[in-house]
Every structure is written in structure tokens, then in C-alpha cells.
Structure 1
């Protein structure tokens, strides 16, 4: 069994020295040249497979302080006497024939021998059955979401995560995670970011992340970023073809917009949060994107109308039919409500549309949450309520993205706008 760390249930501030532990084991003195043969022999002996020392991150062959000609092969930690009473009979015979004697060996375990989960289990009260060691990495930042019952130990938890998230010998060698933060409340409903506090490490919230072939820099304390959506970002980007026009309504710092632009799409990207907009524009420069990504800092509805008008203007005044190929709406809490912006959005272009042979209309990729046992029906009904028109079922696909709570899932519904939606009379206020 692995060696547990010393229990420190009264600890309120992290003391690494309190986690020192000394283990005494017995060892067989073996000529250096015969060590490998001895190990092989004792491992193959009947009923003797567990006679050798076998603990994570610890060697079972060590230098012999009495001679350079011999080495010590460690025995199981539960062997408690030089008579080796706990060793199997077959093992004893091999030790007597090959060994040059029995010696004691002392193993000094330090704080960094254990994992973060093991150390926290030694500190937290027994009634807290779970150990909060999970986090989401955002660049150099470990983002935790501690439940209320763990908050009295939040400082210790943060420091232990910073120290021991991976097995390390020198605590200063951990160059991946340098800051540990905890979410303080629900997401900001206006600008989509979490308020958070630093639990341990550097006071530096400027993160840099590589995703989908792009580099993203941003202030994690003031913008929304979710590394768990990497797969979803890639899934949608794969649906965009070079030279297509993509309109990203809630773009954040650009996880959809920038890779799409690098792919060769023409992208119009928007975010209401001025800080997100600032970092999106910085990331355009960082990724050397030239002239196929236009950034906006507007309300979502206003942006949809503005982007449609700007694309129309870019197409020489709109004497030919041209619209976006894709609208991306990644604001799952409320994006469906913004679909009303498409009602009548192309009303003035109906004649041009019909004269153009009724070409394909844009695909909308709208993220949303659902708690329904029949999410497809729930989502379709909500879209119809927002747009005032039924969805074309033949061109609609509901994709499950991830579970965000026990009874709450995130979806992306992809559907094609219909003439009834985009040419309709707008609703009266």
C-alpha cells in the first residue's frame, strides 16, 4: 500500500515541513553485478512476487553506504525484523543463497512526494468526502470552482494545487501553472466573465492560450474563455469553407473568428464587452491576420443588422444578392432570444433574392442550454417563439456539446434561415 502523508487536520496555513515522514525498511546486500539477476530470480520465485519493495516514485535498489561494491535491494515495507519473518519461504532461500547480509535503510519522504489529492486529504476534515483537486487550465492559470464548504481552506487548496498538480522535485520547476484562482459568483450577465480571486501564485491574469492553430492573449479576469469548448470551436470551424462569409455575433476574444479567418473565411466578429473587443483586436495582430476579419463592439441585435448592412455595402451597394454563409451565436444563456433580430432583416432585399433564383440562406449556429427531457422539441419551440416562424426541420441539426450541471446541458442548434423569417414584417414593440 502507498505511504499516506501525516494527518494534519488542524492545519489552517500550509506548512510543508509538517509533511516529512521517515520510513524504515530492510534490505538485502547484493554484489552490484548481481543485482539484476537477483531481482529477476526473486520475482519469479513461487509466492515471492511481493517480497520486493514496490512503492510509487521510489526506487527499490539504492546505494550501499558501506561499500561501493554492493547495493541494497529493498524489501517490502511490512518486513519488520532482520529475521525476515514476513518474507515467503522461497524468497528467504534466494536471499540466503545470493545475499551478503541484511541491512536497514531509511527513506525520508518530503512534502512533494505526495500528490495534491493525498496532501489535501490529510488536511481536510473527514466529513468532507471529496477532495477539490480539479481545475481548468487557462494558460498559466488554474481555474477552480470551490464549493462553499471548502472556502475555509481555499488558501491551502490553492497553494497545494500550485505545488503538486504534477509530480515535481523542485517546486520552482513547475512552469505551466503559476496562478490558481477561484470563481466567486455566477457569470456576469452583461459581459460574460466570472469574478474571481487569486488563491495562490502570481497576481497575473493575462493568459496566453494556443487553440485551433491560433494564439490568444486576454485578461482572464475580465473576459469569457472556456478551454473545455476547444472541441466545439474546432467542430464548427471545420464547417466553414475558404472564402465563405462568417458572422460571429458573440465573438469574445475570437475562438471562432480568428481560426475561421486564418482558414480564409471573411469574418465579421462582434462582442459587447469592450475588454473582449480590445483583446480580439490584439489577437488579430498577434496572429498576423490582415484584412479578412472586421471587429465590432456592439449589442448583438444591433450588430446583426450592422453586419448585414456593411456586407451589403461591401458588395457595391447591394444590387446583387449576397449574405453571410454562417452566423455563429455562442451565448448559450440568451442567444436564442437574439434570433428575433433576423425577423425582417432582409425585407428590403426580397426582390433581389427572388431574381437571383432563391439562393441558399445563411446557416445559424446557435448555442443554448436546455433542462428538458426532450431538448430537440424544447429548442425548436424556443426558436419559433423568437423568430415568429417554424424552423425548417430538414436543414436543422441539434448537437449536444456538454453537460454543465446535473440537469442542464449545452447544445448547438444549426438551422437555415427561411424566407418567412428574413422577409417578414418586424414585430411592433
Structure 2
């Protein structure tokens, strides 16, 4: 960026934001186009030779600085700062030719910028001391947003500036009304992955509404776990599920996997140990009208793993099913006033989808400890071998377990994950393809910290685990 268009350097006192100090006037030159019909012609010509001012959020075409000419509709093209109105030697040949032909005139133009123009990064670079920025590789810019709440995790060195940082975040993010800062690590103070926080700016209102993967979620952010950065991972896994399958979501939270899966007509047995998560999940299931497909539970995930397998089997043997009507598109086409209605076609009948006897996928999104739950898969389908290959075409369930591991440039973390899975299952599992027997595919899902990554390990439950005797 040209130094002319950098914000002023301001060393404000802790917690004090004087927006008026960010006002700045930049002296530029502008090409006044005599015939407004030729503005686009001159714009293309000057753009091709890199003579126009090219900065985001600054309009290229402005009114003439002379109010009389501006009232007459005369427009100007802002020029690169290297062009000086009073120094013809800085004019390009196109500018000189335009002036000579009287098609344009080169005039001084004072560009006024204020606090609203500068981005969050611009403002913080002006406010924070350079040594602090260098030491911590930039500025504290990242936050996890849940509805109107911006959730920060500020490092200790930035804490003296926390109110200032929060105030600027509110200014520069219209959708944010409350800024909070985490004051303890997730899981260190609550078994439910909730965290202690302080409000840095805005009202202490953490009742939020979030839209994700075509679903609406409402919840109290202070009482449940939610991470908007996982939206892509939620979508990836839901896209793997097929309508009519059964998914067991062992640590379902408020339903970011379960509710979108239900919209796909996937049966989901969704469990969370946190009573608040269970309550909001139940509400979100009903709110998104997927209660036919998604059943909420509030149990310890260790006992729920085998109980879910038994409950699904019982529902199937009792002949439970879901009745669904025609799609909205088909209903519209069959409406009496629709031009596409075929009067000879019979009305579509409701579809009956039976619950299958087995679970196709287990989801275990508790990365700090989910792997330790795997021992409870032993005996998952004890005495029910006839439900699976080779007696039927049904494969044993696929498990998707999330976990943390250290960052590395080789596959050491992936092998470490496989070893941890093997230790819990009591069966040796190797790194490979999830569809292959006793192999695990491991996918990195996101960075958690400079030396910490989150992974999703997927594998099919080995037969000697699934059919082992229950203890």
C-alpha cells in the first residue's frame, strides 16, 4: 500500500478509542472528463496503463471538486498518487494528449478518509505497538462467531488492549453485537466443553441464532459447545450419509450433524451427555421438522454406543417406519392451478421408509477423549452376525472418531492415532483406507493451535470387535 493511503499511526491509551484521530486527507490528482459520455473510454485507457487509483472501497469515479462543475455533472477519475496535478512531467502520454485535446483536465483532488474507511486490520495496526505485533506475528484478528456473538481467545500480551480490540470488532462487523473472551480452556472447567468467559463489548446476551447447512439452530452459547469453523466438516460427513441409513451420533451437541442428516431423510439416534445440549437439540430437531428421523437422547456416550445398536434393532423388528409425502416440487406441479398439472396422473402416494436393523455410521465428535470410548464397541452386535456380510449385503458400521494430535511434516501423527485406536479396540489397526479390513483413513480437519491439529479417523468396526461377547 502506498504510504499516502495508510492510516495514521495512533498510540492510544489502553481501552480508549478516539475515532476522530483516524481522519486523513490524501492529496491526489484527478482527470476531469469534459464529456461524461467518454468517462468509460478514458477509464479503460488509463486503467490499461496503470494510471488510475486502484484501492478497495475507494470509488474510481467521483464528482468534480469544483462544486459548480459538480452540479453540472462533471466527473473525475482519481489517478495514481505518482501523478501530480501541478507537475506535468509526471503525466503519462495519454494524459498529456488528453489535456492537449481538451478532452480532460488534470486537477488537484483532496480525498477525505475517516475511521469508517479503514479495515479492522488497518485500525489495529495503528493502535497496537509495533513490538507487540512483531512478537505475536500480527494482530489478534481471528474469532469464532456464533450468531451475534464474536468469541475471542486473546493471548496474555493482548489482554491490556482487550476492550479496545472488542470495540473495533463491533465497529467493523455489523452482524456482531457482543464480543466475549474465553478465560479458560474448553474442557478444563466443564465436562460439557463449555467455558468461562468475560464480556468485552456489547450486552451479556449469548442466546444466539445460527444458520448452517440449510438448518436453523438456536441455543445459549454459554451453556453448550458450538464451533462455526466446523461447518465444512459437518457438511462433508453429512454428504456421506445416504437416505434411509441409520447414523448414531454419540456426542451430538445441539445437532450440527444430526439435524442436516435428518433433512436428508437419514435416521439419526442423536445423544449428548450435556442436559442443556440435549434440550436445545430437541428444540432444534422440532424447529427444523426432522423429528420423524432424528431421536434425541441424554446419556453417557459409553453406554449409548451399544444401547443405540439395540434400540435401532428393536425399532426395525417392530416394523417402525417413517411416512413422508411428495416433495415440495412435486406438490407444486400437482396443484390444481399449476400449468404443469397432468390431470390423468394419480395423486402421489405417501412414501413408507422402514427403519433398517443396523447402524451404518457412528459419529464421535469429542476430540479430546472420543478415542477412549472405542472399547465400548466390543460386543456391539454380539450374537447378531446374521445381519451382516456374508449373510447379507450389509457391512459393519463405519466409525468417524475425532481426535487431536501434534503437528508434524510426516505421517507420525496419523500412525499415532492408529495406535491409540488399536489400543482401545484391542485389535491392530493400520493406516490405510477405511473400506479395507482393519485399516483407518485419517483426515486433518482444522488447525487448533500452532502445534495442534484436529483429525477425523474413519474405519469399519472389525468383526472380532463387533461380534465379541459383551462384558
Q: Normalized against structure 1, the TM-score is what?
A: 0.84
Alpha-carbon separation, structure 1, partners of 2:32 and 2:384: 92
Deviates more, 1:272-281 or 1:75-84: 75-84
- Quote the offset at 1:27 in angstroms: 4.6
Question: 1:270-285 counterparts in 2 under 5 A?
Answer: 270-285=271-286
Give SS of 1:107's match: strand
1:387 counterpart (413, 417, 425): 425
Q: 1:30 to 1:360 in 2, by over 3 A?
A: closer
- Quote the offset at 1:375 in angstroms: 3.3
Alpha-carbon separation, structure 1, partners of 2:223 and 2:36: 62
Please provide the CA RMSD for this pair: 3.2
Alpha-carbon separation, structure 2, partners of 1:415 and 1:124: 48
Q: Does 2:88 correspond to 1:87?
A: no
Alpha-carbon separation, structure 2, partners of 1:253 and 1:239: 20
- Tell me what 1:216 maps to: 217
- Quote the offset at 1:308 in angstroms: 2.9
Q: Does 2:460 correspond to 1:416?
A: yes
- Quote the offset at 1:5 in angstroms: 1.6
The answer to whether the 8 A contact 1:248-1:257 is kept is yes
Q: 1:87 to 1:285 in 2, by over 3 A?
A: same
Question: 1:5-404 counterparts in 2 under 5 A?
Answer: 5-12=7-14, 13-27=16-30, 30-33=33-36, 36=39, 39=42, 43=46, 49-50=50-51, 52-59=52-59, 60-63=61-64, 64-67=66-69, 68-69=71-72, 71=74, 73=76, 74-77=78-81, 82=86, 84=88, 86-88=90-92, 91-92=95-96, 94-98=98-102, 104-127=108-131, 128-129=133-134, 130-165=138-173, 174=174, 176-188=175-187, 190-316=191-317, 322-347=357-382, 349-350=383-384, 357=391, 360-371=395-406, 373-391=411-429, 394-395=436-437, 396=439, 397-404=441-448
- Tell me what 2:351 maps to: none
Give SS of 2:180's match: strand
Deviation by residue 1:31-89 (Cα, 9 ceiling, x = unmatched): 354762783597289xx753x55544334532331334463635554566745454357
Alpha-carbon separation, structure 1, partners of 2:389 and 2:58: 77
The answer to whether the 8 A contact 2:389-2:395 is kept is no
Q: 1:400 to 1:10 in 2, by over 3 A?
A: closer
- Quote the offset at 1:323 in angstroms: 3.0
Alpha-carbon separation, structure 2, partners of 1:405 and 1:26: 47
- Quote the offset at 1:105 in angstroms: 3.7
The answer to whether the 8 A contact 1:35-1:71 is kept is no
- Quote the offset at 1:407 in angstroms: 3.2
Alpha-carbon separation, structure 2, partners of 1:331 and 1:22: 53
The answer to whether the 8 A contact 2:388-2:395 is kept is no
Alpha-carbon separation, structure 2, partners of 1:133 and 1:276: 29
- Quote the offset at 1:351 in angstroms: 7.2
- Tell me what 1:168 maps to: none
Q: Which runs of 5+ in 2 are unaligned?
A: 320-355
Q: Which runs of 5+ in 1 are unaligned?
A: 166-173
Give SS of 2:261's match: helix
- Quote the offset at 1:425 in angstroms: 4.5
Q: 1:84 to 1:281 in 2, by over 3 A?
A: same
- Quote the offset at 1:344 in angstroms: 2.8
- Quote the offset at 1:214 in angstroms: 1.7
The answer to whether the 8 A contact 2:375-2:425 is kept is yes
Q: 1:337 to 1:91 in 2, by over 3 A?
A: same
- Quote the offset at 1:140 in angstroms: 2.5
Give SS of 2:253's match: coil
The answer to whether the 8 A contact 2:187-2:195 is kept is yes
Deviates more, 1:144-153 or 1:193-202: 193-202
Deviation by residue 1:140-186 (Cα, 9 ceiling, x = unmatched): 33333322211211122122122224xxxxxxxx3x33333333221
